[in-house]
Structure 1
Amino acid sequence: MAKIIGWLQLKNMTLLQSFIFLCCLTLITVMAVITLEFEWAERIRLRYADDSSVIGWVLPSLVTMVLLTVAAGIVLMAILFYRWKLKEPLGMLMKASEKISANDLGFHLSYDSKDEMGELCRVFENMRGQLERNYKALWRSAEERQQLNAIFAHDLRTPLSVLKGYSDFLTTYLPAKKISEEKLLEMVQTMKVHIVRLENYTEAMNSIQRLEDMPVNSRETDMHHLTSLLNESARQIAGQYAKSFDSSIAVDSNKIAVDSDLVMQVFENLLANAARYASSRVKVHYRFCRGFFTITVTDDGTGFSDEALQKAKLPFYRGEIGDAHAHHGLGLYICKVLCEKHEGGLHVENGSDGGGKVMASFFAELINS
């Protein structure tokens, strides 16, 4: 029977089809056995027709065998149905549930069947995959938040130490009037500078939190219109730094679906960063490939140092730029957060001809015009 069931590809049947098939198969088998039992009873009756004691137990025996045959057929059908349709997928689902309960999501659930149990296993695998992605994203977010807090605490240590030192100094010498008004005014001005730094750091932390909570609203966008807006913004930013700008594009479609506001925010941060470090020129290349809209910004400056290549995307990293206090070192970190929210990423490297090179990618649904 197992070979027959395998030959008929029972796994490709739905549960209802399989149940009906097994019922019919069981019914045919039971009817054949009952027919044999009736033939046996008839032979006994004919053979012992003159012996009333034998004839007396033939009918009860026949009824008992028929009932036992029907019961055995039902039990056998249930066992076969469970074995070929339920046992394997239920066992897989139970093991998968135990692993998920133990926070072990590094497995794959695969059950090759076209019935409802196969579909259930596929849905369960999709759920596991989504849980794994969410867990990794949550873990990555927690690590980044921990890293951000550590960097934030490190950068706060200097202004707090300065303020504490000045506070102790004033507490000690001000009552004794051992500080001149000029020195006192100088200390107050210095303390004010560090207080402003603390305020700016706090505002920066709040802005990062708002970025992480910002939703992504992808909408159908005309590619040429979008790149025109980006180019116009780039010219203005480059002009502020007295740098030239040019762009190129390699896109096969007229329309894509992206969050234009988010793309614009990332683009302006990249342009401002490139223009700040460029010697004279900033170049931008737009590309759509394999479902991602990519913006590559290069400059003709000195490029990233080895340290910057490792830390450029970290929050509050300012490198060795002369006006380090003019910004908080959040530009590339903001771009990284926004790109990842748009299911893309940010890559930093040095160009083949020198200068910095930053590639921002955004998941973008292609819309053929």
Structure 2
Amino acid sequence: MKTLRIRKFMVIGMYSVVILPWMIYFFIHFNGTPFQNGAQAEKQKLNETLDMIVTNSAKWENPEWQKNLRSQLLKGNIHVEILSPSKHLIFKSGNWRSNPWISNQQFTVIESGKILGTVKLYSQMKSDIIARLLAMTAMILGIFFVGFKMQKNIVKPLEAMSGTARQIAEGDLDLNLPVSRVTEIEEVRSGFEVMVAGLREAFEKQAKLEEERRFFIGAIAHDLRTPLFALRGYLDGLEKGIAASPEKIATYVSVCKEKSNQLDRLVSDLFAFTKLEYMEQTLYCEKIEIELILKSSIESLKPLAEEKGVSIESEFPAYKCEITGDRHLLERAMNNLLDNALRHTPNGSKIFVNWYKEPGKVTISVRDSGPGFSPADLKHMFEPLYRGEVSRNRATGGAGLGLTIARRIFKAHSGELSAANYPDGGAVLIGWILSEFRGDEL
């Protein structure tokens, strides 16, 4: 839809109301029209009347001549007023000065250098009346036209926007703004629609976040309650003397220790997750060697791996590679990846850790020897609190936040983390980080 700038709209309105009526008037009054012949005849009668008065100045006060003049004036629809040199009224053909359609001409009659008087001719020419009528009609129609267009394209849209602002303030986003042909009004209308679309998206996102928050709180509460109940049960057993033998006491204490460690891990994951939204603002970046981070994470997980009889095998390039990042967060991400692999690797199996350089980035992979991910798992792998029915379940411990935290740490370092199934079996997690400092090859 074509639109007009408001200044152009106002110029067109002014032209329609002011200039166009005058153009119509002058065109009809001075140019060839169907009324031209009649106008020429009227002008001829006017000239004849003027000649009759000027050539008979001596008879101006003669009643008989005045009677004949009145008769002549009635035929031509002309009115005359004759004044003496001292402006004394000599003759007047009637009371017509209040008629707005009368046009007048004034002539001074001079003979032999002497002023005889003044003649005022008042005529009611049909062509002039028609021109004026048409001009007034055009002006009235122009006013109605401009008023209608202003009402439709300016007033109504502005009123609708005013009502819309109140609707938005009340939380009602179901809006229907009228279209306008004025560019500025249409731009404001488009801005309103963009704003409403943004608000609607924000409200939907807020509702989704609120739903996720409720789910998150419920899931965390459930995960915390499970080890707490177990811990309380075993502590009650110890208190009541159910564990009578040293072996049974040792077993109860071992289970209590395991449950307390599980609680510590849940709280730690929860605390880390709540800080993820502000991770980019709290990064402590420094130059670090990627291999040192991997070796540190492997060493921290070795005791748990040895308990399960799982070996962690690493194959690193024979050169160093420096990256810019937060050492603590990157170690946490690697710990989460290795912990996930360890929890899903059968006893006596292996975990493989590798890294290698690519143009502008360094890539890390962690592969386990477990059953791998199901197609359903791969779709939701990095969602908070998600656990698959087989490969990822609460029996392995954790709140389902480990991979979510790891992925957000990679993203905070302008990287990414993805999951897949290895062709020879097992699950593989592949992450990459931008590498501005590539290091020197050995």
Tell me if both proteins adopt one fold, taking TM over 0.5 as the criterion. Answer: yes
Matched, 1:244 2:312: no
Query: Residue 28 of structure 1 is aligned with which of 19, 24, 42?
Result: 19
- Equivalent residue, structure 2, for 1:254: none
Query: Residue 16 of structure 1 is aligned with which of 7, 25, 29?
Result: 7
What do the CA deviations read for 1:297-341 (whole angstroms, capped 9, x no partner)?
4637446232643664343859469x945x654321213455788
- Equivalent residue, structure 2, for 1:48: 77
Matched position secondary structure for 1:57: coil
- Equivalent residue, structure 2, for 1:280: 352
User: Separation in 1 of the partners of 2:223 and 2:195?
Assistant: 41
Runs of at least 5 residues in structure 1 that lack an aligned partner in the other structure: 1-5, 248-258, 364-369
- Equivalent residue, structure 2, for 1:79: 148
Q: In structure 2, what residue type is equivalent to 1:244?
A: E
User: Separation in 1 of the partners of 2:181 and 2:410?
Assistant: 39
Would the alpha carbon gap of residues 32 and 345 (structure 1) be closer, same or farther in structure 2, given more than 3 Å must change?
farther
Q: Is the 8 A contact 1:296 1:360 kept in 2?
A: yes
Query: Residue 349 of structure 1 is aligned with which of 417, 420, 424?
Result: 420
What TM-score does the superposition give when structure 2 sets the normalisation length? 0.52
Q: How many residues are paired up?
A: 326
Q: In structure 1, what residue type is equivalent to 2:385?
A: P
Matched position secondary structure for 1:242: strand
Q: In structure 2, what residue type is equivalent to 1:16?
A: R
Matched position secondary structure for 2:99: helix
Q: Larger Cα Rg: Structure 1 or Structure 2?
A: 2
Would the alpha carbon gap of residues 27 and 268 (structure 1) be closer, same or farther in structure 2, given more than 3 Å must change?
farther
Matched position secondary structure for 2:100: helix
What is the root-mean-square deviation in Å for CA atoms of aligned residues?
A: 5.6
Q: In structure 2, what residue type is equivalent to 1:280?
A: F
User: Separation in 1 of the partners of 2:414 and 2:172?
Assistant: 24
Alignment map for 1:110-125 (pairs within 5 Å): 115-125=183-193
Identify the structure with the greater helix proportion: 1
- Equivalent residue, structure 2, for 1:58: 100
Matched, 1:138 2:206: yes
- Equivalent residue, structure 2, for 1:256: none
Shift of 1:272: 3.6
- Equivalent residue, structure 2, for 1:333: 404
What do the CA deviations read for 1:162-197 (whole angstroms, capped 9, x no partner)?
2443465567x46xxx86474567645644543443
Alignment map for 1:254-273 (pairs within 5 Å): 260-261=325-326, 264=330, 268=334, 272=338
Identity within the alignment, %: 17
What do the CA deviations read for 1:105-126 (whole angstroms, capped 9, x no partner)?
8x99997989323432443344
Shift of 1:29: 1.7
Matched position secondary structure for 1:280: strand
Would the alpha carbon gap of residues 296 and 196 (structure 1) be closer, same or farther in structure 2, given more than 3 Å must change?
closer
- Equivalent residue, structure 2, for 1:208: 273
Runs of at least 5 residues in structure 2 that lack an aligned partner in the other structure: 47-75, 80-92, 103-123, 303-311, 319-323, 435-442
